[in-house]
């Protein structure tokens, strides 16, 4: 069985992805704003102060930037 943190993180990612898609589908936020949300989230981790958990923050920023690069926010899989 996966570690509880892995399960919680995966669930949180799935929920956030669904929310962003719903915001796009219902024209509540334009795609550029959704991409901005992802950019801001990545930057918050890329430029996290201090060195505590620096590796984790760098990995989170890389994951978010990968999501931004891989998919247009309004496109469904």
Give the model's pLDDT for residue 5: 75
Domain residues for the domain of 11 are 4-70
pLDDT in tens, 10-22: 899 999 999 999 9
Structural domain contains residue 28: yes
- Closest by alpha carbon to 73, among 41, 30, 44, 42? 30
Structural domain contains residue 77: no
Structural domain contains residue 75: no
* The 3-state secondary structure of 15-57, one letter per residue: HHHHHHHHHHHCCCCCHHHHHHHHHHHHHHHHCCCCCCCHHHH
Structural domain contains residue 54: yes
Please state the domain count of the chain.
1
Instruction: Residue count of the chain, please give it.
Output: 77
64, 45 contact by CB (below 8 A): yes
Degrees (nearest 5) of the Cα angle 24, 18, 36?
Answer: 50
pLDDT in tens, 21-70: 999 999 999 999 999 999 999 999 999 888 788 998 999 999 999 988 88
Structural domain contains residue 42: yes
């Amino acid at each position: 069985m996966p570690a509880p943190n892995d399960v919680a993180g995966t669930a949180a990612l799935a929920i956030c992805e669904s929310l962003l898609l719903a915001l796009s589908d219902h024209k509540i936020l334009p795609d550029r704003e959704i991409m901005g949300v992802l950019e801001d989230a990545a930057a918050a981790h890329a430029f996290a102060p201090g060195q505590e958990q620096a590796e984790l923050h760098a990995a989170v920023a890389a994951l978010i930037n990968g999501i931004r690069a891989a998919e247009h926010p309004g496109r469904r899989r």
